[in-house]
Amino acid sequence: MTRIVFLDRATIAPQIALPRPAFAHEWVNHDHTAPDQTGARLATAKIAITNKVRITEDVLRAAPDLELVAVAATGYDCVDLDACAARGVVVCNIRGYSINTVPEHVFALLLGLRRNISAYARDVQNGRWQAAGQFCFFDHPIRDLSGAVMGIVGHGAIGTRVGALAQAFGMEVIYAARPDQNDHEAAQAGRVAWPDFCARADVISLHCPLTPATKGLLDRARFAQMTRRPIIVNTARGALIDLPALRDALAAGQVSAAGLDVACHEPPHPDDLLMELARDPRVIVTPHVAWASDEAQTALCQQMTQVLEGFMAGTPINRL
């Protein structure tokens, strides 16, 4: 019987059902798995399901029966793909399930920052409305999205959807060149070279994978090119942004605000720089939940069943 081990079931909300595959199997759930537990828990598994638990060469060495790593997410930087390939282990991920939830979260962060929603809500709680003595007050700037330039990094399904929503708000949309594109290649692909991209954008939203080429993508040099003091939104991967550089860019006025849903280490340590930024009124930090609407999690779990059944039928889907 096929043994399936879900290493971090608690990364899916408890109210979301996990449909079981049609083939005969034994299913084992672990809410959490520490690095030193992974190998032992997969020792007799044929299929591993992981959201964020790392699958390394050492783990694979301890799991001789493993044939499939099914990533319960789109991002797969938790898996050593080269080590899996060397051992003939198939790796598949989940795609397209967050096509609505992530873009909607992007705009929740963006509208909150652009219109200073949190600041005004705090002021009302603290009695500022009564103190104003009139029907409204103007302690914080409010800016429309219409007419602003939305700069998007990443032109996949989510980046494209964010662009469509931005256009519905009346924004101009530009897409950044890939790190491996020169200016001519970027122009041919309808993308904007980075210096121009940084100079034009009123908002920069990140929707690209974390790779060696994109780690620290937004760094001091790029923040220095941001002449329009954009809002930075990151719902992709924490390490895409150099956080000390972001802190300094906020202090220098190169960036006006930031909405961050991801961290380099999750959960972040209480002393992590991200937690310092979370206390800045110009920053909104949410706990990596942009992907996590009930509808999106349900779609993820349904697609996971398709991944497992496709693999067992000899026709794996979403193979990496």
Q: Is 288 tagged catalytic?
A: yes
Q: Is 87 tagged catalytic?
A: no
User: How many helices, marked H, and strands, marked E, lie in the chain?
Assistant: 13, 11
Dist CA 17 CA 198 (whole Å): 43
Dist CA 209 CA 187 (whole Å): 22
Question: How long is the chain?
Answer: 320
Q: Is 26 tagged catalytic?
A: no
Dist CA 157 CA 159 (whole Å): 6
Dist CA 166 CA 146 (whole Å): 9
Q: Of residues 9, 105, 114, 237, which has the active-site annotation?
A: 237
Question: Is 296 within 8 Å of 235 (Cβ atoms)?
Answer: no
SS3 at position 176 = strand
Q: What is the DSSP letter of 204?
A: E
Q: Of residues 266, 269, 295, 319, which has the active-site annotation?
A: 266
Read off the amino acid at residue 110. Answer: L
Q: Would you please indicate which residues are annotated as catalytic (active-site) residues?
A: 237, 266, 288
